[in-house]
Amino acid sequence: MDHFPIFLSLKGQRVILVGGGELATRKLRLLRKAEAAVTVIAPSACTEILELVEQGVVGYQERKFKDEDLNGASLVFAATDIEEVDTAVSQAARQRGVKVNAVDRPELSDFIMPAIVDRSPIVIGISSGGSAPILARNLREKIEGLLPPALGRLASFADSFRGAVKGTITSGGDRRRFWENFFDGPVAESVLAGREVFARERMLGLINLNWKEKNAAGHVAIVGAGPGDPDLLTFRAMRFMQQADVVVYDRLISDEILDYVRRDADRIYVGKGPGNHSKTQDEINDILVQEASKGLRVVRLKGGDPFVFGRGGEEMEVLQAAGIEVDIVPGITAAIGCAAAAAVPLTHRDHASMVTFVAGQNGDGIAEADWSGLANSRQTLVFYMGVSKANNISAKLMLNGLSGETPVAIIENGTRPDQRVLPGKLSGLGELTENSAITGPALIVIGSVAAFARQQDLRQFATEYLENNKASSSEREVAVARL
């Protein structure tokens, strides 16, 4: 380990910053967050620094650096990007025993500034020892994406209850288990979701009651996993998936999404497809209640959004009636995700001023609908579970006045690597579904916006055709660009 990692309090400490350009400004932003008493020394300074000087929050000496500027300083930063100046600052600092950092010059530095993930009071520093700062920044970006923005609020929330917990739960081992359960539990999730007042009420109850019994009640999160692409999972969905003891999932959940589930979680498959129900809805409800009643953290993982044709509302009602706490995590519903992946705008100023999601079928066959209202040519229709009823759908819409020339698009396995986009006309919708051997989950989009899918499909066909006929890469690019 070339550098010893340490977090240093600079609140009120005198820090010298030599330089007035962009490099110095970046360091100044960090030092202000640390509440250091900063003095900038430079012959000239950029607008941002001068504005802070005018506000009285930063000191400024409009001149060149002098060795005696370091008297009484805790730290010094050389941020001029001028080698002879940065070297002089470094030598002066080392002679006086003041720790120095010369930006992007590790050989002149006593300490390295890490890439920082700031969720104050939670702070993460990532350092390559100056050897690969871009790599450190890339790692910071990845970690930033994994951590909820409200993580700092959660730490402060927990800190505000430390005394109460210590006074109520006297055993050190019990306190540790209490906090482990807290940070993985629904009270912490409420804080992260911005419901802090509600979380405080629940926290007081958790402390004052028998917390072991309270945690034994179990919990269910009904989580929308989106249309299939794991990149479309929300951060909140991934948090619950990583915390789960049990995951109950259906056939719309891909293996790529299941890879984000905690590895030692039990997995229960309850997939349902057309005419092939692994479990009935009542059986699924029973599984959720039974698993949560064991005191487990259960995730009910659903494709799309659980409240859009996902029967999440029914499951929520059953769980609440059983006295089990439920969280709902929305997902990108299939209509929105798949349409975007197929380059189909669901609304468009020149084509559609509204969009309607329709269940293509219910338990008894084709779903009841206001077909005269749906046959409005200035809207987009998205039919879920409609492939097997495509003939009936097209017939009812045309019977109520929608032109048979209206564009349609079937999107199969939307957002996934094996996505297919099948364009056509309303009059040929039934034939299109029958001739396309559709086996994966599919949506039907009806309306003039569906014509946008044609160009994408034609480009894909042309690219594949030219590749199969041994066209060069440049010839393929020119041909596709002309479409």
pLDDT at 480: 46
Lowest mean pLDDT among 28-32, 83-87, 102-106, 183-187: 183-187
CATH of 336-458, one of 3.30.950.10, 3.40.50.300, 3.30.160.150, 3.40.50.150: 3.30.950.10
pLDDT at site 71: 93
> What average pLDDT does the structure give for the chain?
87
**Annotated binding-site ranges for S-adenosyl-L-methionine:** 227, 303-305, 308, 333-334, 385, 414
First to last CA, the chain: 57
- Lowest average pLDDT, out of 229-233, 267-271, 462-466, goes to 462-466
The secondary structure element, H or E, covering residue 20 is none
Q: Is the pLDDT of residue 337 over 50?
A: yes
What tokens were used for 418? 């094996």
Instruction: Find the catalytic residue in 69, 86, 245, 250.
Output: 250
Annotated binding site: 22-23, 43-44, 227, 303-305, 308, 333-334, 385, 414
Integer Cα distance of 403 and 377 in angstroms: 8
Element of type H or E holding 99: strand 99-102
Residue 428 is predicted with a pLDDT of: 94
Cα gap 68→18, rounded to integer Å: 13
Peptide bond just before 133 cis, omega within 30 deg: no
Question: Residue 255 class from Cβ within 10 Å (0-12 exposed, 13-18 middle, 19+ buried)?
Answer: exposed
Q: Which residue has the higher pLDDT, 426 or 205?
A: 426
Report residue 363's pLDDT band, with 50, 70 and 90 as the boundaries: very low
Annotated binding site for NAD(+): 22-23, 43-44
Q: Using the predicted structure, report yes or no on whether residue 367 has a pLDDT greater than 80.
A: no
Active-site residue flag, 214 = no
CA dist., res. 118 & res. 124, Å (int): 7
CA atoms of 445 and 100, how far apart (whole Å): 63
CATH fold for the domain made of 14-113? Rossmann fold (3.40.50)
Residue 463 — very low, low, confident or very high, per pLDDT cuts 50/70/90?
Answer: low
Question: Which segments of 225-321 are extended strands (E)?
Answer: 246-249, 266-269, 272-273, 276-277, 297-302
- Name the residue ranges covered by the structural domains of the chain: 14-113, 154-209, 217-332, 336-458
Report whether pLDDT(399) > 90.
Answer: yes
- For residue 401, the model assigns a pLDDT of 92
Q: What is the chain's length?
A: 483
5, 126 Cβ separation under 8 angstroms: no
Q: 469 φ, ψ to 5°?
A: -100, 20
User: How far does CA 44 lie from the centroid of its chain?
Assistant: 42
Is pLDDT above 60 for 188? yes
Q: 249: which 2 tokens?
A: 């999932």
How far is residue 254's CA from residue 233's CA, in Å, rounded to a whole number? 12
**According to the CATH classification, is domain 217-332 in 1.20.1250.20?**
no
**HSE-CB for 203 with a 13 A CA cutoff:** 24
Which residue among 214, 272, 279, 396 is the active-site one?
A: 272
The H or E element spanning position 380 is strand 379-384
Asked if 115 contacts 130 with a C-beta cutoff of 8 angstroms, the reply is no
How is domain 154-209 classified at the architecture level of CATH? Orthogonal Bundle (1.10)
Give the 3-state secondary structure of residue 361: strand
d(CA 383, CA 46): 57
Active site residue 272: yes
pLDDT > 60? residue 218: yes
Q: Is the pLDDT of residue 430 over 60?
A: yes
Strand 75-78 to 99-102 pairing: parallel
The half-sphere exposure of 227 on its side-chain side, counting CA atoms within 13 A, is 25
